Amino acid sequence: MSEDLSLKEMQKTWHGSQKAYAIGFIVSLLLTAASFTIVGLKLLPPSIAIYVVSALAFCQAVIQLIYFLHLGQEDRPQWESLVFYFMILVLLIIVIGSLWVMYDLNARMMPHMNMHMN
Amino acid sequence: MTKPLLTESTTPYAPDPHQDIFSKTTLGFWMYLMTDCILFASLFLVYAVLKNSTFGGPGSQDLFSLDLAFAETLILLCSSVTCGLAVLSAVQNKKKHVVLWLLATLLLGGTFLTLELQEFAHFIKEGNSWERSAFLSAFFALVSTHGLHITFGLLWGIIMIAQIMHFGIVTMTFRRLTIFSMFWHFLDLIWIFIFTYVYLIGVL
């Protein structure tokens, strides 16, 4: 069973299509242009723009995962999706956990905080 | 008399179809990309923590050019699409098109790398190298790790073109072309976050 597929079978499993690349390209282009315009022309105050731009990046990542990397389009059992979701879990634990610890440390190291500590 | 536990007719599920070399290779490479993702997440994290540790040096507002970063983003996005079209041509057995799309990918990737290196050279010439502050160390670590991936991607692309020209589109070259395209799309994905978190939010 551990044999290679024939070229035809391999080509058949490829999920890309001209339409998918066109959609991915146009949507990515629009999202990039939108975030560039928001920041470049200062359309929003910085505190709001951070969230808007992050949301646009997140959307673009999802679009590229679906249309360029074909996430979730493989045959069952979907090992690649499983690995992906596990990676997201590990990534969130590392990122949120570390940020929490580092900012907490930072706050405790502030000179003016010492008064409250004592 | 014991009955066989599982026979072909009684199994409710079909056997796992991912037993061939092609599926194993793509899954293995995908796992590598996912661990690479965690590497980049750690570098992003370091950058986020050290972003304001400028040690009296220039901050992100003073350094970054939004136009340059936007141009780099568009170039990399285009190269991602041309790389996808190369695989699509391979699916249709058009050898000449595969080589042409790969050449376009390499050309765009090379332009991207040149722009990035020019930016680095500009920073270093003004005395703002990675030695200047913790913020700049984190910036160079993050962005040059991505640049290093692009460099290896370009080398891989050159070898890929040579193999396609020499062997044509066969199982081996098709498999390698597929994982090359995964690598290249992945680098574009990482760059979106560099563009957003380093450059866009940096100049806010």
For chain B, percent helix, then strand, then coil, each to nearest 5? 75, 0, 25
| Contact across the interface for A49 and B81, Cβ inside 8 Å | no
* Residue-wise pLDDT tens digits, A17-76: 899 999 999 999 999 999 999 999 989 999 999 999 999 999 999 999 999 999 888 877
- Between chain A and chain B, the number of residue pairs with CB atoms below 8 A apart is 146
- The dihedral region occupied by A104, where left means phi > 0, alpha psi between -120 and 50, and beta the remainder, is alpha
Q: Which amino acid is at A25?
A: F
Mean per-residue pLDDT for B106-127?
96
Backbone angles phi, psi at A69, to 5 degrees: -100, 0
Pick from A58, A69, A92 the residue to mutate for testing the B interface (most B CBs within 10 Å).
A69
Place of tokens 């980049």: B40
* Residue-wise pLDDT tens digits, B82-105: 999 999 999 999 999 999 999 999
* Residue-wise pLDDT tens digits, B120-163: 999 999 999 999 999 999 999 999 999 999 999 999 999 999 99
Distance from CA of B1 to the nearest CA of A (A): 30
Pick from B16, B22, B42, B187 the residue to mutate for testing the A interface (most A CBs within 10 Å).
B22
Distance from CA of B202 to the nearest CA of A (A): 10
What is the predicted ipTM? Answer: 0.87
